[in-house]
């Protein structure tokens, strides 16, 4: 039966109905008939339709006899009260001053037509509910109060503005109160709620107050008359309990949505056709922020009960300070009290005016400031900054004598302790700094206008160098807006004065970094099309572009935060309309490259965004800028101090050798040289190359290798290559850097990278001819070839740079000397290897595969020869040597010369047509490869299709 009468999810009945002098208890059969009549609206005995009065009394009988029917009966009684209110308003409309008929609302479809005369039923409802409240207030008062207050809110919202006699909610509150209190139904609901609140006022009235707040949030401003009446009837209880409930809700929501709802918000709700669509009998668990409703209720009471409100607010403040540091160890509401009070003051000028007069007296005792400082220690930094921004806003909004006293108190507190305080009453430094931040923002504008002309730029620069948040930075824009009318040339003067202090060393590094970061933020706002600070950012961008030569040295500043802030500014600072001079361009490029590698070392790939953007912009200014950026980036990456960032070995020969040879007191450099030169070596002889150790002492100790995490090396390498790819991207090319399509890279830019690689790895071979010499010529360059091979082994980044160059033919041709030296070194290794397979030389195997693949990618080898690296891991060392010799032979006959490439406009890149070169498809040089495949046919037979030269007819058709 309970399941029949209670809606889904409704809580159980609070308790049995009280024993009254009403009708005698019903039998089971009579109770069943009453339930059927209530649910169907038809008399089960006579069979006629129940009238509204009879239906309501049937519900009251069930409410007395069957407590589980509480939810269904209370929901039905909503319609009774709605019908009574509608009849009352219709009576008013039919008076001589009544409005036209079309303004009368239609009767609700779910309420039977009963017409006027339901006052006796309303009175009976009040009697029944009053008996329940008196019999068991703890159980029934919360339920009935929530029902009555929610019903009043819905009635107020539904009929607001629909009748001529109902004044608008934004009009006179007294007229609205008189109208609704003159209606029997709404007055009864008010009496029921007041009885519930009176019954619980001595124990726990939070449930009633919480329902009041919920309804105020939902139905304001139409509900303000209820708030005004209840607040005037119970001012002390309503003030304390509303603040308590609002604080608990603030702990849950953190003030979210405080701008919506609220008694003073003026946001009316449009009523729907159904006055109570889906309204629950018990609104209990509404999760709507209530701080706006708290502000509205206290705002109604502030005019008559301001003293009570002030005392309660100050009591809450002192209680939160006495509860411990940050409220971390006790009640969580203690931690939220100060932010809650600040939010109330921001949302309600009336409440701010109520407490501002006594705020200074409240804060004057040093013990209070110390407690406040200890209380705020447990808050996160971001939350502290937010509260300080609110305090700045409140100080600027204060007025009257309280405002003057507050400003004077802040000035006195912000001054040094040795000036104003006596011994033993020192104010904590954190409090002093906070007061300084508050007061300086209020006085700078006045000082800038009424003192010497240079004070304006100095004041603006002061704000820019000390603003630590967008809120504080906006004060600089406000100061600029107020001074720009009276002071000409304000921004250039402010920028030059700050920059002069930076280079003179009078502006401390933290303030210098903050100044540069704030400038970058302002310029960024301007580029994003923001409002307000956009004009300021544009003018500062112009000033910064005129002083690029002064900003570039800051990229080399010893303080990391200053250098990073300078990079952030230069990354988005506009360049001057005229071209940069060579000295300016080279200075910016050098400083930017230094910043890139310093950021990569200290912060990893996420920290190089600003430096990368700066270098990319410099590379786009002119061809000379592109060449300088690429050259210095490659040189810097291969520099001995940066090699370990990309997986390279740290050169520790000198230190290691000195440690090993230190105990050899008898060692003589002269004797060693005599032994080495006893025989006259030929050019490139072994004695000029193989200094492997000291006889009698063993081999030379291995180099000291300082290795980074492999994942970190990959990220660093990808960051460098990504920047190089962006710089090398041809105008109008695709922006995809995940795949290095040749159409995205400029051959001229890739050529600059190739030339720089040769100059860095082998300076003595720079400018050598590109033609490939015979294999016998390698005997004369064995020392150089070994040095090139050793450099590739020490710096894996070289292979990645070769891949980048190969992606833009014919740029790889200019790396011919490096390819030749590496190939010769690998040939020498495989010739000397006596292992049965290549897996015993993993680096040489990988280097051989990568070298052949790179030459194939750069169109130095035809596809058939370029695929041979796929089988290297399956071969013996002598077989790998034979295949590499065939590569050497092909390159000797078909040299890697740029003249052999032609530009294909359809593909937008240079290509090489091997079919037009005699034997260019690799014909005779594939014989060795086919022989090796035939020898290992059992393992490599499946690869034979990869190494077949295309037929001449196929080549001609393809061309």
Per-residue pLDDT tens digits for 213-255? 777 777 777 777 787 778 777 777 778 777 887 888 888 776 5
Residue 805 lies in a domain: yes
- pLDDT > 60? residue 752: yes
pLDDT at residue 107 in the model: 43
Question: Roughly how many angstroms between the first and final C-alpha of the chain, as a whole number?
Answer: 91
Residue 676 lies in a domain: no
- In degrees to the nearest 10, what's the CA dihedral of 404, 406, 409, 415? -90
Q: Taking every pair of C-alpha atoms in the chain, what is the biggest distance, in angstroms?
A: 137
426 and 545 in a single domain? The answer is: yes
User: Predicted confidence band at 400 (pLDDT cuts at 50, 70, 90)?
Assistant: low
Q: Is 272 helix (H, G, I), strand (E, B) or coil?
A: coil
Residue 72 lies in a domain: yes
639 and 750 in a single domain? The answer is: no
Dihedrals phi, psi of 421, to nearest 5 degrees? -105, 150
Beta-carbon contacts of residue 642 (< 8 Å; ≥ 6 apart) = 597, 601, 636
Single residue among 615, 643, 671 that ends a domain in this structure:
643
pLDDT at residue 528 in the model: 60
pLDDT at residue 854 in the model: 94
pLDDT at residue 46 in the model: 77
In the predicted model, what is the mean pLDDT of the chain?
A: 75
919 and 791 in a single domain? The answer is: yes
Query: How far apart, in Å, are the Cα atoms of 44 and each of 30, 112, 917?
Result: 10, 18, 108
Give per-residue pLDDT as tens, 81-122.
888 888 888 887 776 544 443 444 444 443 333 344 678 888
Give per-residue pLDDT as tens, 466-512.
888 887 787 777 777 777 777 777 888 888 888 888 988 888 999 99
* Residue, of 566 and 319, whose pLDDT is higher: 566
926 and 798 in a single domain? The answer is: yes
Single residue among 233, 253, 287 that ends a domain in this structure:
233
Average the pLDDT over 2-15 and give the result: 41
Residue 67 lies in a domain: yes
Rounded Cα gap, residues 684 and 681, in angstroms: 8
Dihedrals phi, psi of 945, to nearest 5 degrees? -65, -20
- In degrees to the nearest 10, what's the CA dihedral of 712, 718, 724, 725? -170
Is the preceding peptide bond at 810 cis, omega within 30 degrees of 0? yes
The three-state DSSP-derived secondary structure of 396-440 is HHCCHHHHHHHHHHHHHHHCCHHHHCCCCCCCCHHHHHHHHHHHH
Query: How far apart, in Å, are the Cα atoms of 867 and each of 186, 451, 861, 926, 944?
Result: 92, 80, 9, 11, 11
pLDDT at residue 732 in the model: 46
User: Predicted confidence band at 164 (pLDDT cuts at 50, 70, 90)?
Assistant: low
217 and 341 in a single domain? The answer is: no
Domains in the chain, number: 3
* Residue 699, beta-bridge partner list: 693
The residue range of the domain holding 857 is: 744-943
Q: Which segment, 68-77, 602-611, 671-680, 936-945, is predicted with the most confidence on average?
A: 602-611
Give per-residue pLDDT as tens, 789-827.
999 999 999 999 999 999 999 999 999 999 999 999 999
Task: Give yes or no for a contact between 686 and 782, defined as CB atoms under 8 angstroms apart.
Answer: no
- pLDDT > 70? residue 681: no
Among 11-25, 149-163, 744-758, 761-775, the range scoring the smallest mean pLDDT is 11-25
- pLDDT > 90? residue 555: yes
Give per-residue pLDDT as tens, 538-554.
777 787 888 888 899 99
Q: Which two tokens stand for residue 172?
A: 């006179």
Average the pLDDT over 176-181 and give the result: 81
Dihedrals phi, psi of 61, to nearest 5 degrees? -65, -40
Is the preceding peptide bond at 221 cis, omega within 30 degrees of 0? yes
Beta-carbon contacts of residue 4 (< 8 Å; ≥ 6 apart) = 35, 39
User: Predicted confidence band at 401 (pLDDT cuts at 50, 70, 90)?
Assistant: low
Q: How many helices, marked H, and strands, marked E, lie in the chain?
A: 42, 4
pLDDT at residue 601 in the model: 92
Give per-residue pLDDT as tens, 842-881.
999 999 999 999 999 998 998 888 888 888 988 999 999 9
- pLDDT > 50? residue 283: no
pLDDT at residue 447 in the model: 55
Q: Is 332 exposed, middle or buried (0-12, 13-18, 19+ CB in 10 A)?
A: exposed
Query: How far apart, in Å, are the Cα atoms of 509 and each of 447, 547, 709?
Result: 26, 19, 33
- pLDDT > 70? residue 379: yes
pTM: predicted TM-score of the whole model, two decimal places: 0.54
pLDDT at residue 190 in the model: 86
Rounded Cα gap, residues 780 and 777, in angstroms: 6
Beta-carbon contacts of residue 328 (< 8 Å; ≥ 6 apart) = 335, 378
Rounded Cα gap, residues 79 and 100, in angstroms: 25
Rounded Cα gap, residues 689 and 687, in angstroms: 5
Rounded Cα gap, residues 220 and 153, in angstroms: 8
Residue 870 lies in a domain: yes
User: Predicted confidence band at 287 (pLDDT cuts at 50, 70, 90)?
Assistant: very low
Single residue among 643, 670, 690 that ends a domain in this structure:
643
Using alpha carbons, select from 820, 814, 824 the residue that is nearest to residue 758. Answer: 814
Residues 363, 366, 372: CA angle, nearest 5 degrees: 65
Dihedrals phi, psi of 909, to nearest 5 degrees? -155, 165
474 and 614 in a single domain? The answer is: yes
Residue 414 lies in a domain: yes
628 and 768 in a single domain? The answer is: no
225 and 355 in a single domain? The answer is: no
Average the pLDDT over 503-529 and give the result: 84
Q: Which segment, 474-483, 517-526, 566-575, 656-665, is predicted with the most confidence on average?
A: 566-575
- pLDDT > 90? residue 613: yes
639 and 748 in a single domain? The answer is: no
638 and 765 in a single domain? The answer is: no
Q: Which two tokens stand for residue 565?
A: 């802030």
CB-CB neighbours of 125 under 10 Å: 26
Give per-residue pLDDT as tens, 335-369.
888 888 888 888 887 777 777 777 777 877 767 87
State what percent of residues in the chain have pLDDT above 90.
Answer: 20
413 and 562 in a single domain? The answer is: yes
214 and 357 in a single domain? The answer is: no
User: Predicted confidence band at 441 (pLDDT cuts at 50, 70, 90)?
Assistant: low
């Amino acid at each position: 039966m309970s399941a029949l009468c209670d809606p889904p999810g409704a809580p159980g009945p609070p308790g049995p109905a009280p024993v009254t002098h009403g009708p005698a208890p019903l039998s089971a059969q009579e109770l069943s008939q009453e339930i059927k009549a209530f649910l169907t609206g038809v008399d089960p005995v006579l069979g006629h339709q129940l009238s509204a009065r009879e239906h309501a009394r049937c519900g009251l009988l069930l409410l007395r006899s069957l407590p589980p029917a509480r939810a269904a009966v209370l929901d039905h009684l909503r319609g009774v009260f709605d019908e009574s209110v509608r009849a009352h308003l219709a009576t008013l409309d039919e008076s001589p001053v009544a409005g036209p008929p079309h303004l009368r609302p239609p009767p609700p479809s779910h309420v039977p037509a009963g017409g006027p005369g339901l006052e006796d039923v309303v009175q009976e409802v009040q009697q029944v509910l009053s008996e329940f409240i008196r019999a068991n207030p703890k159980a029934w008062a919360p339920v009935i109060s929530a029902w009555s207050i929610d019903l009043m809110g819905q009635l107020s919202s539904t009929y607001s503005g629909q009748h001529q006699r109902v004044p608008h909610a934004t009009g006179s509150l007294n007229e609205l109160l008189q109208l609704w209190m003159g209606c029997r139904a709404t007055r009864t609901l008010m009496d029921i709620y007041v009885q519930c609140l009176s019954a619980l006022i001595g124990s726990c009235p939070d449930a009633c107050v919480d329902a009041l707040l919920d309804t105020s949030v939902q139905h304001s401003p139409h509900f303000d008359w209820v708030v005004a009446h209840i607040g005037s009837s119970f001012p002390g209880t309503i003030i304390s309990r509303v603040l308590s409930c609002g604080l608990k809700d603030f702990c849950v929501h953190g003030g979210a949505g405080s701008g919506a709802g609220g008694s003073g918000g003026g946001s009316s709700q449009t009523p729907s056709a159904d006055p109570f669509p889906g309204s629950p009998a018990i609104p209990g668990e509404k999760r709507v922020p209530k701080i706006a409703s708290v502000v509205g209720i206290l705002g109604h009471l502030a005019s008559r009960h301001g003293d009570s409100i002030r005392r309660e607010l100050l009591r809450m403040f002192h209680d939160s300070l006495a509860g411990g540091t940050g409220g971390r160890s006790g009640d969580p509401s203690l931690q939220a009290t100060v932010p809650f009070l600040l939010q109330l003051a921001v949302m309600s000028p009336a409440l701010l005016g109520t407490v501002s007069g006594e705020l200074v007296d409240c804060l004057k005792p040093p013990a209070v400031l110390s407690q406040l400082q200890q209380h705020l220690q447990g808050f996160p930094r971001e939350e502290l900054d937010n509260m300080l921004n609110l305090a700045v806003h409140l100080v600027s909004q204060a007025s009257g004598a309280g405002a003057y006293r507050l400003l004077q108190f802040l000035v006195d507190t912000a001054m040094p302790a040795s000036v104003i305080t006596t011994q033993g009453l020192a104010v904590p430094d954190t409090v002093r700094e906070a007061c300084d931040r508050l007061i300086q923002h209020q006085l700078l504008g006045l000082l800038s206008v009424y003192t010497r002309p240079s004070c304006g730029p100095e004041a603006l620069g002061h704000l820019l160098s000390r603003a630590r948040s967008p809120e504080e930075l906006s004060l600089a824009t406000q100061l600029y807006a107020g001074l720009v009318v009276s002071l000409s040339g304000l921004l250039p003067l402010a920028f030059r004065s700050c920059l002069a202090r930076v280079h003179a060393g009078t502006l401390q590094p933290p303030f210098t970094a903050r100044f540069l970061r704030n400038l970058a933020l302002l310029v960024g706002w301007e580029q994003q099309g923001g409002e307000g600070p956009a004009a300021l950012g544009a003018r500062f961008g112009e000033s910064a572009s005129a002083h690029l030569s002064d900003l570039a040295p800051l990229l080399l500043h010893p303080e990391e935060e200053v250098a990073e802030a300078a990079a952030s500014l230069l990354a988005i600072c506009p360049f001057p309309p005229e071209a940069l001079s060579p000295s300016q361009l080279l200075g910016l490029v050098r400083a930017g490259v230094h910043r890139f590698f310093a950021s990569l070392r200290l912060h990893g790939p996420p920290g190089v965004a600003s430096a990368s953007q700066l270098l990319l912009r410099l590379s786009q200014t002119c061809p000379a800028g592109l060449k300088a950026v690429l050259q210095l980036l490659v040189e810097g990456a291969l520099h001995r101090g940066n090699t370990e960032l990309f997986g390279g070995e740290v050169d520790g020969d000198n230190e290691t050798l000195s440690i090993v040879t230190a105990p050899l007191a008898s060692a003589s450099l002269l004797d060693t040289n005599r032994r080495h030169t006893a025989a006259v070596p030929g050019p490139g002889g072994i004695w000029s190359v193989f200094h492997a150790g000291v006889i009698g002492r063993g081999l030379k100790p291995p180099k000291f290798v300082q290795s980074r995490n492999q994942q970190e090396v990959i990220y660093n390498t990808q960051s460098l290559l990504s920047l190089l790819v962006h710089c090398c991207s041809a105008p109008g090319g695709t922006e995809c850097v995940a795949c290095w399509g040749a159409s995205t890279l400029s051959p001229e830019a890739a050529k600059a990278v190739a030339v720089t690689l040769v100059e860095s790895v082998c300076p003595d071979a720079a400018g050598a001819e590109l033609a490939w010499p015979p294999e016998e010529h390698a005997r004369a360059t064995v020392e150089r070839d070994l040095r090139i091979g050793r450099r590739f082994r020490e710096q894996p980044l070289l292979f990645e740079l070769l891949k980048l160059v190969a992606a833009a033919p014919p740029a790889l041709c200019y790396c011919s000397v490096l390819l030749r030296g590496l190939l010769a070194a690998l040939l020498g290794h495989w010739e000397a290897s006596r292992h049965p397979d290549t897996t015993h030389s993993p680096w040489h195997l990988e280097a051989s595969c990568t070298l052949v693949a790179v030459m194939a990618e750069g169109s130095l080898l035809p596809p058939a020869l370029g695929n041979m690296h796929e089988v290297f891991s399956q071969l013996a060392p002598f077989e790998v040597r034979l295949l590499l010799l065939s590569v050497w032979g092909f390159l000797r006959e078909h040299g890697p010369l740029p003249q052999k490439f032609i530009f294909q406009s359809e593909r937008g890149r240079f290509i090489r047509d091997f079919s037009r070169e005699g034997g260019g498809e690799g014909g005779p040089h594939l014989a060795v490869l086919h022989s090796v495949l035939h020898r290992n046919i059992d393992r490599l037979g499946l690869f034979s299709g990869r190494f077949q030269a295309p037929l001449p007819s196929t080549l001609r058709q393809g061309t």
